[in-house]
Amino acid sequence: MTTREPDGLPSQYAPAEVETRRYEQWEKAGYFQPEAQGHSQSEAQQGAAAPAFTIVLPPPNVTGSLHVGHALDHTLMDALARWHRMRGFRTLWLPGMDHAGIATQNVVERELAKEGLSRHDLGREAFVERVWRWKAEYGGKILGQMRRLGDSVDWTRERFTMDEGLSRAVQTMFKRLYDDGLIYRDNRIINWCPRCLTALSDIEVNHEDDEGELVYIRYGDNSKTGDGAGDRTGDGTGTAAGAGGGIVVATTRAETMLGDTAVAVHPDDERYAHLVGKTVELPLTGRRIPIVADAHVDPEFGTGAVKVTPAHDPNDFEIGRRHDLPTLTIMDEHGVITAPGPFEGLDRFEARPAIVAALREDGRIVKEVRPYVHAVGHCDRCGTVVEPRLSLQWFVRVATLAKAAGDAVRDGRTVLYPSEMNARFFGWVDDMHDWCISRQLWWGHRIPVWYGPDGPDGQPQVRCVGPDEEAPAGWTQDADVLDTWFSSGLWPFSTLGWPEPTADLREFYPTSVLVTGYDILFFWVARMMMFGTYAMKDRAPQEAVPFRKVLLHGLIRDQFGKKMSKSKGNTVDPLELIDRFGADAVRFTLARGANLGGDMSLAEDWVAGSRNFCNKLWNATRFALMNGATSVRSGELTELTAADRWILSRLSAVTGDVTRWLDEFEFGKACDALYHFAWDEFCDWYLELAKVPLASGDEAAAASTRRVLGFVLDQMLKLLHPVMPFVTDELWCALTGEDSVMLAPWPEFALPDPAAEAELASLMRLVTEVRRFRSDQGLRPGQRVPARLAGIEGTPLAPHEESIRSLLRLTAPEDGFAVSASLAAEEVMVEIDLAGTVDVEAERKRLEKDLAAARKEAAQTSGKLGNESFMAKAPADVIAKTRQRLADAEADTVRLESRLATLG
Partner RNA sequence: GGGCGAUUGGCUCAGCGGUAGAGCGCUGCCUUCACACGGCAGAGGUCACUGGUUCGAUCCCAGUAUCGCCCACCA
Contact 413, 541 (CB under 8 A): yes
Whose Cβ is closer to RNA: residue 163's or residue 839's? 839
CB atoms within 10 A of CB 470: 9
Least distance to RNA from the beta carbon of 797, Å? 17
Least distance to RNA from the beta carbon of 584, Å? 11
Least distance to RNA from the beta carbon of 883, Å? 12
Length of the chain, in residues? 904
| Single-letter residue type at 173 | M
| Single-letter residue type at 734 | A
State whether residue 512 is helix, strand or coil.
Answer: strand
CB atoms within 10 A of CB 326: 11
Peptide bond into 796 cis (omega under 30): no
Taking the C-alpha atoms of 696, 702, 706 and 709 in order, what is their torsion angle to the nearest 10 degrees?
A: -50
Whose Cβ is closer to RNA: residue 375's or residue 503's? 375
Contact 464, 475 (CB under 8 A): no
Contact 154, 34 (CB under 8 A): yes
DSSP 802-866: HHHHHHHTEE---TT---SEEEEETTEEEEE--TT---HHHHHHHHHHHHHHHHHHHHHHHHHHT
Whose Cβ is closer to RNA: residue 81's or residue 551's? 551
Least distance to RNA from the beta carbon of 502, Å? 34
Whose Cβ is closer to RNA: residue 508's or residue 686's? 686
Whose Cβ is closer to RNA: residue 25's or residue 612's? 612
CA distances from residue 542 to 396, 411, 547, 552 in whole angstroms, order as listed: 24, 9, 10, 21
Least distance to RNA from the beta carbon of 626, Å? 6
| Strand duo 556-557 + 600-601: pairing | parallel
Buried b (16+ CB within 10 A) or exposed e, 89-116: bbbbbbbbbbbbbbbbbbbbbeebeeee
Kindly report the backbone phi and psi dihedral angles of residue 32, in degrees, each rounded to the nearest multiple of 5, phi listed first.
Answer: -80, -15
Least distance to RNA from the beta carbon of 885, Å? 6
Q: Which of 896, 743, 811 is nearest to 38 (CA)?
A: 743
Whose Cβ is closer to RNA: residue 375's or residue 840's? 375
Whose Cβ is closer to RNA: residue 29's or residue 608's? 608
Contact 508, 52 (CB under 8 A): yes
Q: At what angle do helices 124-138 and 101-114 cross, to 10 degrees?
A: 100
Handedness of CA 514, 520, 524, 529 (dihedral sign): positive
Least distance to RNA from the beta carbon of 433, Å? 6
Whose Cβ is closer to RNA: residue 605's or residue 802's? 605
Least distance to RNA from the beta carbon of 294, Å? 9
Least distance to RNA from the beta carbon of 485, Å? 13
Largest CA distance in the chain: 127
Whose Cβ is closer to RNA: residue 49's or residue 872's? 872
Least distance to RNA from the beta carbon of 103, Å? 18
Whose Cβ is closer to RNA: residue 323's or residue 616's? 616
Least distance to RNA from the beta carbon of 855, Å? 13
CA distances from residue 347 to 314, 340, 357, 370 in whole angstroms, order as listed: 21, 14, 15, 23
DSSP class of residue 59?
P
Beta bridge partners, 832, equal 787, 821
Least distance to RNA from the beta carbon of 202, Å? 5
Whose Cβ is closer to RNA: residue 130's or residue 611's? 611
Least distance to RNA from the beta carbon of 274, Å? 18
Q: What gap in Å lies between CA 9 and CA 840, rounded to an integer?
A: 47
Whose Cβ is closer to RNA: residue 251's or residue 649's? 251
Whose Cβ is closer to RNA: residue 217's or residue 789's? 217
Q: Which residues contact 851 (CB under 8 A, 6 or more apart)?
A: 892, 893, 896, 897, 900
Least distance to RNA from the beta carbon of 654, Å? 15
Least distance to RNA from the beta carbon of 679, Å? 6
Q: What gap in Å lies between CA 535 and CA 542, rounded to an integer?
A: 13
Whose Cβ is closer to RNA: residue 622's or residue 899's? 622
Whose Cβ is closer to RNA: residue 226's or residue 754's? 754
Kindly report the backbone phi and psi dihedral angles of residue 436, in degrees, each rounded to the nearest multiple of 5, phi listed first.
Answer: -80, 115
Judge residue 171's burial from the number of C-beta atoms within 10 Å of its C-beta, 0-12 exposed, 13-18 middle, 19 or more buried.
buried
Whose Cβ is closer to RNA: residue 91's or residue 303's? 303
Whose Cβ is closer to RNA: residue 559's or residue 837's? 559
Least distance to RNA from the beta carbon of 250, Å? 5
Least distance to RNA from the beta carbon of 653, Å? 16
State whether residue 31 is helix, strand or coil.
Answer: coil
Whose Cβ is closer to RNA: residue 92's or residue 200's? 200
Which helix (H) or strand (E) segment holds residue 624: the answer is helix 604-626
Q: Write the secondary structure of 105-125 as one string of H (helix), E (strand) and C (coil).
A: HHHHHHHHHHCCCCHHHHCHH
Q: What gap in Å lies between CA 448 and CA 487, rounded to an integer?
A: 14
CA distances from residue 652 to 421, 480, 648, 716, 752 in whole angstroms, order as listed: 34, 61, 6, 10, 6
Least distance to RNA from the beta carbon of 477, Å? 31
